Amino acid sequence: MHSVDIAETKMIRSYSELSTIESFEDRFKYLALYGSTSELTFGNDRYLNQRFYKSNEWKRVRNEVIVRDLGLDLGVVGHEIYGPIYIHHMNPVSIKDLTDNSRIVFDPEYLITVSLQTHNALHYGDTSYLAATITERKPGDTCPWKTG
């Protein structure tokens, strides 16, 4: 299993490296921004985001990434997404990246499928946004006198 150093937050993250990390938790640590992001792509330049996310090229790449990741949160088996599917840029995208059509914007090597909760947790570095792990139920597990 690949271990993740949280201090390595300035690196260029890639799908090739992410795919060597087995657990959801370690993939999260590898991708988390811990509250630091690149320059904003909102404000007066919000039109760039709107134009980008409505483009045919983005829609094509988005679908490609969802298929590659089997629609799974961070591409991890057992982490199905029940609701809207988001595509997360593993490396923060700047206005310059959008206007220059930087490779990190459209290349699936720098994109991953996530749920809304995981997307928010990655951007804010706050695991409280993550969906709670579902405990597998077993016969009699709600009857304390039947344990053992």
pLDDT (tens digit per residue) in 33-79: 876 554 454 456 677 888 889 999 999 999 999 999 999 999 999 99
130 vs 117, higher pLDDT: 117
The pTM score is 0.77
Give the other-Cβ count within 10 Å of 136's Cβ. 6
If one compares 87 and 1, the residue with the highest pLDDT of the two is 87
- What confidence score (pLDDT) does residue 143 get? 59
In this prediction, residue 127 carries a pLDDT of 77
Closest CA to 13 of 101, 74, 100: 74
The gap from C-alpha 68 to its chain's centroid, in whole angstroms, comes to 14
